[in-house]
Amino acid sequence: MLDPTASPRVSPRASGLGVRVSRGQLAFGGTPVFAELGLDCAPGSFTYILGSSGVGKSSLLRMIAGLVPNSKGAIVASDGKPLSGRIAYMDQRDLLLPWLGALDNVMVGARLRGQSQDRERAAALMAQVGLSGQHHKLPNQLSGGMRQRVALARTLMEDRPVVLMDEPFSAVDALTRMKLQELSARLLAGRTVILVTHDPMEAARLGQCIHVLSGSPATLDDGLYPAGSGPRDLADPVVTDLHRTLLGKLEVAIS
């Protein structure tokens, strides 16, 4: 990128990569979590995986991220190659390193890979998440919402075509959470994003494809594909309809 002041979020290789999971299998201590799981995420879409606590949402995301060594099945990108090295992962905890300042936390990926650190791009991302003046603050000097924004900037800094998010922002208050969800939806537009959540309203507002994970071993339903993309207005009839449908599906899943 020649102009450091230009928006750093859109880069040619950061879009247009779908993700397909087929015959996914995972077991913990002999108990199957998934037996024959399939998931198809269109390039550049926001896919939500909704489910109650303990059903295996986080395990599914960790499996796609390649963090579960004993899983089976095929997880491939739409270009037929493995996903390794092309995903960014964001946990529900900010996972900032407490000994590094905010800007250094944003650039930690390059540091770990032994690459040169692009300070200008990191500073531009910090500005986009609204933290321009906080470059040298240690994580324990920032509020919970600010730490989550640093984590979001770190995720964007990785500039990967696929982004996996495990209940992001669930640790902050409701208003901050809503603002952060809208911010991340805006900044992540164009990438293939897979998110897990237990909140049907979040999925209804932001999802382009919404699956419910349920059962034991867990399976995904066929999914809902609401028109348009998020963030949708809370008063939008599409949102209220989706919310009701998703709550119904969750209720069926539990009973």
List residues near other proteins by CB under 8 A: 62, 65-67, 84-85, 87-89, 91, 93, 95, 97-99, 108-109, 111-114, 138-140, 158
Nearer to other proteins, 59 or 208 (CB): 59
Q: Which phi and psi angles does 18 have, rounded to 5°?
A: -85, 165
Query: C-alpha dihedral over 47, 53, 54, 57, to 10 degrees?
Result: 10
Nearer to other proteins, 13 or 244 (CB): 13
Q: How far is the CB of 93 from other proteins (least distance, A)?
A: 6
- The token pair at 88 is 């960014």
What is d(CA 182, CA 220) in angstroms, rounded to the nearest whole number?
Answer: 26
Q: How far is the CB of 111 from other proteins (least distance, A)?
A: 6
Nearer to other proteins, 116 or 140 (CB): 140
Nearer to other proteins, 88 or 220 (CB): 88
Nearer to other proteins, 61 or 129 (CB): 61
Q: How far is the CB of 47 from other proteins (least distance, A)?
A: 18
What is d(CA 128, CA 9) in angstroms, rounded to the nearest whole number?
Answer: 10
Q: How far is the CB of 178 from other proteins (least distance, A)?
A: 24
Q: How far is the CB of 190 from other proteins (least distance, A)?
A: 20
Nearer to other proteins, 93 or 119 (CB): 93
Q: How far is the CB of 201 from other proteins (least distance, A)?
A: 26
Nearer to other proteins, 114 or 228 (CB): 114
For residues 46 and 19, the answer to whether their CB atoms sit within 8 Å is no
For residues 142 and 172, the answer to whether their CB atoms sit within 8 Å is no
Q: How far is the CB of 19 from other proteins (least distance, A)?
A: 14
What one-letter code names the amino acid at 160? R
